Structure 1
Amino acid sequence: MTSSTGTASRGAGAEATTREIAQQPRLWREVERLVSARRASLEEFLAPLVAHENLRVVLAGAGTSHHVGQILATTLARRLGRRVEAIATTDIVADPHGSFAQDVPTLLVSFARSGDSPESVATTELAEQCLSECHHLVITCNSAGHLARTHAERPKSQVLLLPAESNDEGFAMTSSFTCMTLAALLTLGGTSYDGLGDRLAAAAERVLATVDAKAHTLVDQAPERLVYLGSGALRGLAAESALKVLELTAGQIVATSESSLGFRHGPKAIRNDNTVVITYVSNDPYTRQYDLDIVAELLEGARPGGVVTVAASTAGLPEESTWLLEGLEDVDDAALALPAIVCAQLIGLYASLGLGLTPDNPFPSGEVNRVVQGVTLHRLRA
């Protein structure tokens, strides 16, 4: 992250966020080695579960950790041939009987940066209360977290601890998000993804080198609103991208997300003359058509710089406004999301600095916290 490191270091309170964006390619390679070393024990744990024809896999997390599940759900459903759903821990805690309405064998995959958010452990306990057979795969960045410690010795649990550096010190989840996404994809997607971590890392290194200046240029336009669009797995990526802007700018820039098709059904009303719409373009040939359609529609009468696309190929897209994820034309969209999110992380970082904020802690008053506080957990009665 050549130019960004220099820029961010001049902004007070940006050091951790800058470092944690830049370290991702190195950490992804480390995550791939980690999963490979654990492959035998993970397979021993997962194989009997996946053998259940009626197995339900629930991908659980809150905020950014929920977006991990949203990105992975459809890809893992195809790979496993089983029912896979992403449900926010906040929804599970609020309505456990609804979330676990069917008492079927369940693998609950919990994503947590710290593992200390009140809903993290509560979700696993509620699953135990509601289900006759529940197993847990905990993917977390904090060995000392409540979630990791709770499940470390349980016979129906496996804890996958990610590199300590992935436990971001900055307010916004960056390397923790991508490391958890990659770890789950490699673990649950099987050996067909061998070597993927290195490919994605190389692509992200190119993004850091080539997109940095483009992110600066976008932020220099001082947009009032940012809209992220994506289809399928990239819908979750769009949601995470919008959240990064909201978090890092302390809500001073309005940011939202939608699917490429869904944008026309009302949400398009957010667009004004000072809005930038960023569309993540799918690698799936069928899905890609809908992304190209909305891009073409948005470009009609758009001001310069008002429409940006992020894609692995420029086919059917205007090259001048496409941020290219080179060398990834053949990967699943869930994998494409990892280098793509780096674009949004850079935008959020520079937007924060441009507003005179401190990206490492955009809420110095403590109004919003790195680890959620203020949640009262209520007892579930049978």
Structure 2
Amino acid sequence: MKTTTQNLVPQGSGADHTAAEIIQQPGVWHEVGAIVAGERDSLDAFLGPLIADKDLRIVLTGAGTSAFAGEVVRAAVARATGRRTDAVSTTDIVADAYASFPEDVPTLLVSFARSGDSPESVAATRLAEQVLTRVNHLVITCNSAGQLARLHSENTSSHVLLMPAAANDQGFAMTSSFTSMLLASLLALGALTTGAIDGAAAAAEHITAGGLDRHIEALLAREPERVVYLGSSSTLKGLAQESALKLLELTGGALVASSESSLGFRHGPKSVLNDRTAVVVYVSNDPYTRRYDLDILAELRAGLPEGSVVAITASPNGVPGDDTWLLPGLADADDTVLALPAVVCAQLIALRSSLGQGIRPDNPFPSGEVNRVVQGVTVHPLPQRRDDVA
């Protein structure tokens, strides 16, 4: 059965945009593939000479969800390009540009931005140009009218890669914008081919069509007061960070959500656990890394009430129990591909938790204390040297 907003959320629940933007993702991913393929020649002409420079540093940047996109793709981009690749948020760049760019080396700044209108988005690119002698920009954005797109569209040292119009989410939380920009960066930088989209899209369609509904319902029926997301390596740890943020945003902070790496969780963050805590473990497809995910999974299942610890995985090997959520057809996929349908699970958990709290997901902060596009940021002039700060 094809999923529609009508059979995903109740009419009048204030979730139309968010639900539609979650459901549409598989189709939007195919559009992203077509866009990147159509711009392949111009992307290669722009990126080829940059990546050929062995001294190039690639910096993946954004704020909030957009920053987590950089975390998810960092390792895959580094492998594909053979160049030093770091994920540095725009908020860190704006707060301390000199620390964010400690070496004056040729730099490709890859900016992720849904609207491109948040103060830090534009400021980060300008600060990079102020601090570095040579910087080029790959701007991946969902809004052609945003400040970031307009600033860089006529810049010969920049390439603006626009996402499909549908990816410019109108709901409060970033859903299809996150996965679209993540996918676009992997395709543009040669870390993925368009052939990988089919498997990710099929798995996501299985989820949105109700393939995991009973699992999600069972988890939320426990009425957790805290939810923890865990994942190993920068890829799945970044996914865990985004998953926790979605739940926090869409429930208006009514549910406490946190994230950590599978190994890092034991070093203090495990203190969050109680009998009302639910834990979601993203299990890596990498055979070695997977062992650590399975270790923490077994440990948590032994110590927490039955049904409160779930695994999201593409392979059932070593992951027994009804609390295992399978992503079909992706047992051999890279973790970056796995992240695309896996985050759909987290988006649905957040959406249904929001509705269960009586919150309207399209606008969980009606009084405006948190905004769809960040407000209230003053970007202060950067001194020429660190000791020039008054």
Alignment of 1:162-311 (within 5 A): 162-189=163-190, 193-209=193-209, 210-232=211-233, 233-311=235-313
* Alpha-carbon distance in structure 1 between the residues aligned to 2:26 and 2:42: 26
**Alpha-carbon displacement from aligned partner over 1:209-233 (angstroms, at most 9, x marks no partner):** 2123322222222100000000111
Q: Which runs of 5+ in 1 are unaligned?
A: none
Amino acid at match of 1:26: G
Contact 2:4/2:20 (8 A) holds in 1: no
Contact 1:4/1:212 (8 A) holds in 2: no
* Alpha-carbon distance in structure 1 between the residues aligned to 2:30 and 2:361: 26
* Alpha-carbon distance in structure 2 between the residues aligned to 1:195 and 1:7: 29
SS of residue matched to 1:300: helix
* Alpha-carbon distance in structure 2 between the residues aligned to 1:7 and 1:337: 22
* Alpha-carbon distance in structure 2 between the residues aligned to 1:142 and 1:216: 35
* Alpha-carbon distance in structure 1 between the residues aligned to 2:139 and 2:303: 48
**Alpha-carbon displacement from aligned partner over 1:239-272 (angstroms, at most 9, x marks no partner):** 0000000000011100000000000000001000
Q: In the alignment, which residue of structure 2 is the partner of 1:157?
A: 158
SS of residue matched to 1:341: helix
Q: Please point out which of 350, 353, 362 is paired with 1:360.
A: 362
RMSD across aligned positions (CA): 1.2
* Alpha-carbon distance in structure 1 between the residues aligned to 2:257 and 2:248: 6
* Alpha-carbon distance in structure 2 between the residues aligned to 1:213 and 1:128: 51
* Alpha-carbon distance in structure 2 between the residues aligned to 1:291 and 1:199: 23
Amino acid at match of 1:367: E
TM-score normalised to the size of structure 1?
0.98
SS of residue matched to 1:320: coil
Q: In the alignment, which residue of structure 2 is the partner of 1:320?
A: 322
Contact 1:11/1:353 (8 A) holds in 2: no
SS of residue matched to 1:223: coil
* Alpha-carbon distance in structure 1 between the residues aligned to 2:9 and 2:340: 22
Q: Displacement of 1:7 after TM fit?
A: 4.5
Q: In the alignment, which residue of structure 2 is the partner of 1:49?
A: 50
* Alpha-carbon distance in structure 2 between the residues aligned to 1:74 and 1:80: 10
- Closer, same or farther: CA 272–67 of 1 in aligned 2, 3 Å: same
Which stretch of structure 1 is more off in the superposition, 271-280 or 294-303? Answer: 294-303
Q: In the alignment, which residue of structure 1 is the partner of 2:388?
A: none
- Closer, same or farther: CA 6–171 of 1 in aligned 2, 3 Å: same
Q: Displacement of 1:11 after TM fit?
A: 4.9
Q: In the alignment, which residue of structure 2 is the partner of 1:373?
A: 375
* Alpha-carbon distance in structure 1 between the residues aligned to 2:152 and 2:310: 43
Hey, which bits of structure 1, 4+ residues long, moved more than 6 A? none
**Alpha-carbon displacement from aligned partner over 1:148-168 (angstroms, at most 9, x marks no partner):** 000001000000000011000
**Alpha-carbon displacement from aligned partner over 1:302-356 (angstroms, at most 9, x marks no partner):** 2121100000001001241111111111111111101000000000000000000
**Alpha-carbon displacement from aligned partner over 1:83-129 (angstroms, at most 9, x marks no partner):** 00000100000000110110000000000000000000000000000
Q: Displacement of 1:198 after TM fit?
A: 2.0
- Closer, same or farther: CA 304–359 of 1 in aligned 2, 3 Å: same
Count of residues in correspondence between the two structures: 381
Amino acid at match of 2:334: D
Q: In the alignment, which residue of structure 2 is the partner of 1:127?
A: 128
Q: Displacement of 1:370 after TM fit?
A: 0.2
Alignment of 1:10-21 (within 5 A): 10-21=11-22
SS of residue matched to 1:9: coil
Amino acid at match of 1:230: G
* Alpha-carbon distance in structure 1 between the residues aligned to 2:190 and 2:12: 40
TM-score normalised to the size of structure 2?
0.96
**Alpha-carbon displacement from aligned partner over 1:273-328 (angstroms, at most 9, x marks no partner):** 00001000001111000000000101114212110000000100124111111111
Q: Displacement of 1:4 after TM fit?
A: 6.7
Amino acid at match of 1:335: V
SS of residue matched to 1:260: coil
Amino acid at match of 2:290: R
Q: In the alignment, which residue of structure 2 is the partner of 1:88?
A: 89
- Closer, same or farther: CA 372–290 of 1 in aligned 2, 3 Å: same
* Alpha-carbon distance in structure 2 between the residues aligned to 1:11 and 1:74: 42
